Amino acid sequence: MRDYFREMMLIDTHSHIYQPQFNEDRKEMMNRAAQAGVEKIFLPNIDLESMPLMHQLCDDFPEVCYPMMGLHPCDVKSGFEEVLAIMRSKFSDRKYIAVGEIGIDLYWDKTTLDMQIEAFKVQLGWAKELKLPIVIHARESFDEIFSVLDKENDETLRGVFHCFTGNLEQAQKVMAYGNFMMGIGGVLTYEKSGLDKVVQEIPMEYLVLETDSPYLTPKPFRGKRNESSYVKYVCEKLAECKGLSVDEIGRITSSNALKMFAI
Ligand SMILES: [Zn+2]
Protein backbone atom coordinates (compact mmCIF):
# COMPACT_ATOMS: atom_id res chain seq x y z
CA MET A 1 0.00 0.00 0.00
CA ARG A 2 1.20 3.46 -0.79
CA ASP A 3 1.96 5.60 2.16
CA TYR A 4 0.21 8.77 1.15
CA PHE A 5 -3.17 7.20 1.81
CA ARG A 6 -2.29 7.05 5.52
CA GLU A 7 -1.98 10.81 5.58
CA MET A 8 -5.22 11.71 3.92
CA MET A 9 -8.89 11.47 4.48
CA LEU A 10 -11.03 9.69 1.96
CA ILE A 11 -14.80 9.37 2.14
CA ASP A 12 -16.68 6.46 0.61
CA THR A 13 -20.02 8.17 0.01
CA HIS A 14 -21.91 5.02 -1.01
CA SER A 15 -21.27 1.60 0.48
CA HIS A 16 -23.47 -1.37 1.43
CA ILE A 17 -20.92 -2.97 3.75
CA TYR A 18 -23.63 -3.88 6.27
CA GLN A 19 -24.72 -6.62 3.82
CA PRO A 20 -24.19 -10.33 4.70
CA GLN A 21 -21.32 -10.59 2.17
CA PHE A 22 -19.14 -9.03 4.90
CA ASN A 23 -20.32 -11.14 7.86
CA GLU A 24 -17.16 -13.27 7.91
CA ASP A 25 -14.58 -10.49 7.95
CA ARG A 26 -16.33 -7.20 8.65
CA LYS A 27 -13.86 -6.08 11.33
CA GLU A 28 -10.84 -6.80 9.13
CA MET A 29 -12.53 -5.06 6.23
CA MET A 30 -13.14 -1.97 8.40
CA ASN A 31 -9.47 -2.06 9.44
CA ARG A 32 -8.37 -2.17 5.84
CA ALA A 33 -10.57 0.85 5.10
CA ALA A 34 -9.01 2.79 7.98
CA GLN A 35 -5.52 1.79 6.78
CA ALA A 36 -6.40 3.11 3.33
CA GLY A 37 -7.31 6.50 4.79
CA VAL A 38 -11.07 6.02 4.55
CA GLU A 39 -12.30 7.97 7.54
CA LYS A 40 -15.98 8.08 6.77
CA ILE A 41 -18.36 5.68 5.03
CA PHE A 42 -21.91 6.63 4.10
CA LEU A 43 -24.45 3.81 4.06
CA PRO A 44 -27.49 3.95 1.76
CA ASN A 45 -30.45 1.85 2.83
CA ILE A 46 -32.10 -0.68 0.49
CA ASP A 47 -35.30 -2.10 2.02
CA LEU A 48 -36.84 -3.06 5.38
CA GLU A 49 -34.52 -6.06 5.82
CA SER A 50 -31.37 -4.02 5.40
CA MET A 51 -32.34 -1.44 8.03
CA PRO A 52 -31.29 -3.30 11.22
CA LEU A 53 -28.01 -4.41 9.61
CA MET A 54 -27.19 -0.84 8.62
CA HIS A 55 -28.13 0.56 12.04
CA GLN A 56 -25.99 -2.04 13.79
CA LEU A 57 -22.92 -1.13 11.75
CA CYS A 58 -23.43 2.57 12.50
CA ASP A 59 -23.72 1.77 16.22
CA ASP A 60 -20.54 -0.34 16.04
CA PHE A 61 -18.57 2.33 14.18
CA PRO A 62 -19.85 5.74 15.25
CA GLU A 63 -18.16 8.72 13.57
CA VAL A 64 -17.14 6.40 10.73
CA CYS A 65 -20.39 4.91 9.41
CA TYR A 66 -23.38 7.15 8.79
CA PRO A 67 -26.83 5.86 7.76
CA MET A 68 -29.27 7.06 5.11
CA MET A 69 -32.92 6.10 4.91
CA GLY A 70 -34.88 5.28 1.77
CA LEU A 71 -36.33 2.57 -0.45
CA HIS A 72 -34.16 1.34 -3.33
CA PRO A 73 -35.99 1.51 -6.69
CA CYS A 74 -35.40 -2.21 -7.34
CA ASP A 75 -37.42 -2.96 -4.20
CA VAL A 76 -40.43 -0.86 -5.10
CA LYS A 77 -43.30 -3.30 -5.57
CA SER A 78 -46.98 -3.42 -4.75
CA GLY A 79 -47.53 -2.48 -1.13
CA PHE A 80 -44.62 -0.03 -1.27
CA GLU A 81 -46.75 2.68 0.36
CA GLU A 82 -46.68 0.79 3.68
CA VAL A 83 -42.94 0.26 3.43
CA LEU A 84 -42.48 3.99 2.85
CA ALA A 85 -44.66 4.82 5.85
CA ILE A 86 -42.44 2.68 8.09
CA MET A 87 -39.29 4.26 6.68
CA ARG A 88 -40.67 7.77 7.08
CA SER A 89 -41.37 7.11 10.77
CA LYS A 90 -37.71 6.17 11.33
CA PHE A 91 -36.54 9.74 10.81
CA SER A 92 -37.83 10.65 14.27
CA ASP A 93 -35.82 7.82 15.89
CA ARG A 94 -32.32 8.74 14.80
CA LYS A 95 -30.24 10.98 12.59
CA TYR A 96 -29.91 10.12 8.91
CA ILE A 97 -27.55 12.01 6.65
CA ALA A 98 -29.64 11.60 3.48
CA VAL A 99 -32.72 10.14 1.87
CA GLY A 100 -31.28 7.23 -0.11
CA GLU A 101 -30.95 5.37 -2.05
CA ILE A 102 -33.88 6.34 -4.19
CA GLY A 103 -34.50 6.74 -7.90
CA ILE A 104 -35.47 4.70 -10.92
CA ASP A 105 -34.01 1.46 -12.30
CA LEU A 106 -35.20 0.28 -15.70
CA TYR A 107 -32.47 -2.31 -16.14
CA TRP A 108 -33.97 -4.92 -13.82
CA ASP A 109 -37.69 -4.23 -14.16
CA LYS A 110 -39.58 -1.88 -16.45
CA THR A 111 -43.03 -3.03 -15.33
CA THR A 112 -42.80 -1.17 -12.02
CA LEU A 113 -41.96 2.20 -13.59
CA ASP A 114 -45.13 3.97 -12.40
CA MET A 115 -44.64 2.77 -8.84
CA GLN A 116 -40.94 3.68 -8.96
CA ILE A 117 -41.78 7.22 -10.06
CA GLU A 118 -44.36 7.54 -7.28
CA ALA A 119 -41.95 6.24 -4.61
CA PHE A 120 -39.22 8.55 -5.91
CA LYS A 121 -41.51 11.58 -5.66
CA VAL A 122 -42.69 10.71 -2.16
CA GLN A 123 -39.11 10.38 -0.95
CA LEU A 124 -38.09 13.59 -2.70
CA GLY A 125 -40.78 15.21 -0.61
CA TRP A 126 -39.18 13.87 2.59
CA ALA A 127 -35.85 15.37 1.57
CA LYS A 128 -37.45 18.77 1.12
CA GLU A 129 -39.34 18.54 4.40
CA LEU A 130 -36.32 17.34 6.37
CA LYS A 131 -33.79 19.45 4.46
CA LEU A 132 -31.68 16.40 3.63
CA PRO A 133 -29.80 15.55 0.44
CA ILE A 134 -31.05 12.74 -1.79
CA VAL A 135 -28.87 9.92 -3.13
CA ILE A 136 -30.10 8.94 -6.56
CA HIS A 137 -29.83 5.54 -8.21
CA ALA A 138 -30.27 5.98 -11.98
CA ARG A 139 -29.90 2.91 -14.14
CA GLU A 140 -31.06 3.19 -17.75
CA SER A 141 -33.38 5.88 -16.46
CA PHE A 142 -31.78 9.31 -16.85
CA ASP A 143 -34.71 10.62 -18.91
CA GLU A 144 -37.27 9.48 -16.36
CA ILE A 145 -35.26 10.85 -13.41
CA PHE A 146 -34.67 14.15 -15.17
CA SER A 147 -38.34 14.56 -15.99
CA VAL A 148 -39.21 14.19 -12.27
CA LEU A 149 -36.39 16.52 -11.20
CA ASP A 150 -37.27 19.14 -13.82
CA LYS A 151 -40.56 19.57 -11.98
CA GLU A 152 -39.40 19.01 -8.41
CA ASN A 153 -36.03 20.74 -8.27
CA ASP A 154 -35.89 23.95 -6.26
CA GLU A 155 -33.22 25.92 -4.47
CA THR A 156 -33.46 23.70 -1.38
CA LEU A 157 -33.16 20.31 -3.08
CA ARG A 158 -29.66 18.85 -3.21
CA GLY A 159 -28.07 15.47 -3.70
CA VAL A 160 -25.75 13.04 -5.42
CA PHE A 161 -26.22 11.00 -8.59
CA HIS A 162 -24.60 7.88 -7.21
CA CYS A 163 -22.39 5.75 -9.48
CA PHE A 164 -22.60 8.31 -12.23
CA THR A 165 -21.94 6.66 -15.58
CA GLY A 166 -23.68 9.13 -17.87
CA ASN A 167 -22.38 11.06 -20.85
CA LEU A 168 -21.26 14.68 -20.95
CA GLU A 169 -24.70 15.99 -21.81
CA GLN A 170 -26.19 14.17 -18.81
CA ALA A 171 -23.41 15.48 -16.56
CA GLN A 172 -24.16 19.02 -17.72
CA LYS A 173 -27.83 18.52 -16.96
CA VAL A 174 -26.96 17.34 -13.43
CA MET A 175 -24.73 20.38 -12.88
CA ALA A 176 -27.42 22.74 -14.19
CA TYR A 177 -29.76 21.73 -11.35
CA GLY A 178 -27.52 23.76 -9.10
CA ASN A 179 -27.05 21.64 -5.99
CA PHE A 180 -26.22 18.19 -7.32
CA MET A 181 -22.95 16.26 -7.42
CA MET A 182 -21.91 13.01 -9.07
CA GLY A 183 -20.55 9.97 -7.23
CA ILE A 184 -17.62 8.38 -9.06
CA GLY A 185 -16.87 4.72 -8.40
CA GLY A 186 -15.11 1.66 -9.80
CA VAL A 187 -16.61 2.05 -13.28
CA LEU A 188 -14.08 4.85 -13.84
CA THR A 189 -11.35 2.19 -13.91
CA TYR A 190 -13.08 0.12 -16.61
CA GLU A 191 -11.46 0.89 -19.97
CA LYS A 192 -14.59 0.69 -22.06
CA SER A 193 -16.76 2.88 -19.82
CA GLY A 194 -15.67 6.14 -21.46
CA LEU A 195 -16.19 7.76 -18.07
CA ASP A 196 -12.53 8.85 -17.97
CA LYS A 197 -13.27 11.29 -20.82
CA VAL A 198 -16.48 12.56 -19.22
CA VAL A 199 -14.91 13.31 -15.81
CA GLN A 200 -12.26 15.41 -17.51
CA GLU A 201 -15.05 17.84 -18.42
CA ILE A 202 -16.63 17.96 -14.96
CA PRO A 203 -15.22 20.54 -12.53
CA MET A 204 -13.93 19.00 -9.28
CA GLU A 205 -16.54 20.80 -7.18
CA TYR A 206 -19.18 18.39 -8.54
CA LEU A 207 -17.42 15.13 -7.71
CA VAL A 208 -17.42 12.76 -4.73
CA LEU A 209 -15.92 9.27 -4.42
CA GLU A 210 -17.75 6.03 -3.70
CA THR A 211 -17.44 2.26 -3.99
CA ASP A 212 -21.02 0.89 -4.02
CA SER A 213 -19.55 -2.10 -2.16
CA PRO A 214 -19.95 -5.03 -2.61
CA TYR A 215 -20.62 -4.22 -6.28
CA LEU A 216 -18.72 -2.51 -9.12
CA THR A 217 -15.25 -3.37 -7.90
CA PRO A 218 -12.48 -1.23 -9.41
CA LYS A 219 -9.43 -2.57 -11.13
CA PRO A 220 -7.22 -4.37 -10.10
CA PHE A 221 -9.88 -6.36 -8.24
CA ARG A 222 -12.67 -6.18 -10.80
CA GLY A 223 -14.94 -9.23 -10.55
CA LYS A 224 -14.23 -9.77 -6.84
CA ARG A 225 -16.19 -8.41 -3.87
CA ASN A 226 -15.80 -4.66 -3.51
CA GLU A 227 -15.01 -3.00 -0.14
CA SER A 228 -14.57 0.55 1.09
CA SER A 229 -10.74 0.47 1.15
CA TYR A 230 -10.83 0.16 -2.65
CA VAL A 231 -12.05 3.74 -2.93
CA LYS A 232 -8.33 4.54 -3.06
CA TYR A 233 -8.14 2.94 -6.53
CA VAL A 234 -10.95 5.19 -7.71
CA CYS A 235 -9.11 8.15 -6.18
CA GLU A 236 -5.90 7.21 -8.02
CA LYS A 237 -7.70 6.82 -11.33
CA LEU A 238 -9.50 10.14 -10.94
CA ALA A 239 -6.18 11.82 -10.12
CA GLU A 240 -4.77 10.41 -13.36
CA CYS A 241 -7.81 11.60 -15.39
CA LYS A 242 -7.77 15.09 -13.87
CA GLY A 243 -4.00 15.54 -13.87
CA LEU A 244 -4.10 16.30 -10.15
CA SER A 245 -2.34 14.64 -7.23
CA VAL A 246 -4.02 11.84 -5.32
CA ASP A 247 -3.83 14.11 -2.32
CA GLU A 248 -5.73 16.92 -4.04
CA ILE A 249 -8.43 14.52 -5.23
CA GLY A 250 -8.84 13.13 -1.72
CA ARG A 251 -8.97 16.57 -0.16
CA ILE A 252 -11.46 18.08 -2.63
CA THR A 253 -13.83 15.09 -2.86
CA SER A 254 -13.89 14.71 0.93
CA SER A 255 -14.65 18.37 1.44
CA ASN A 256 -17.40 18.15 -1.20
CA ALA A 257 -18.89 15.14 0.60
CA LEU A 258 -18.82 16.80 4.02
CA LYS A 259 -20.49 19.86 2.54
CA MET A 260 -23.18 17.93 0.65
CA PHE A 261 -24.07 15.70 3.61
CA ALA A 262 -23.65 18.49 6.18
CA ILE A 263 -21.29 16.51 8.43
ZN1 LIG B 1 -26.27 1.43 -3.75
Among candidates 35, 65, 5, 6, which has minimal Cα distance to 239?
Answer: 5
Is residue 130 within a helix (H) or strand (E), and if so which, with residue range?
Answer: helix 113-130
The pLDDT tens digits for 169-197 are: 999 999 999 999 999 999 999 999 999 99
- pLDDT at residue 44, rounded to an integer: 98
CA of 215 to the centre of ligand 1 (A): 8
pLDDT score of 94 more than 90: yes
- pLDDT at residue 7, rounded to an integer: 59
Confidence of residue 1 (pLDDT cuts 50, 70, 90): very low
d(C-alpha 256, C-alpha 234), whole Å = 16
Q: Residue 81 — φ and ψ, nearest 5°?
A: -60, -40
Tell me the mean pLDDT in the region 56-78: 97
For residues 71 and 235, the answer to whether their CB atoms sit within 8 Å is no
CA of 204 to the centre of ligand 1 (A): 22
Tell me the mean pLDDT in the region 63-68: 97
Helices (H) and strands (E) in the chain, counts: 10, 8
CA of 135 to the centre of ligand 1 (A): 9
CA of 226 to the centre of ligand 1 (A): 12
- pLDDT at residue 107, rounded to an integer: 92
CA of 150 to the centre of ligand 1 (A): 23
- pLDDT at residue 2, rounded to an integer: 47
Q: What is the pTM of this model?
A: 0.96
Q: Residue 252 — φ and ψ, nearest 5°?
A: -70, -45
Buried b (16+ CB within 10 A) or exposed e, 162-192: bbbbbeeebbebbbebeebbbbbbbbbbbee
d(C-alpha 200, C-alpha 196), whole Å = 7
d(C-alpha 47, C-alpha 135), whole Å = 15
CA of 227 to the centre of ligand 1 (A): 13
What does each C-alpha distance from 210 to 7, 80, 169, 233 come to in angstroms? 19, 28, 22, 10
CA of 213 to the centre of ligand 1 (A): 8
CA of 212 to the centre of ligand 1 (A): 5
The separation between CA 238 and the C-alpha centre of its own chain, rounded to angstroms, equals 17
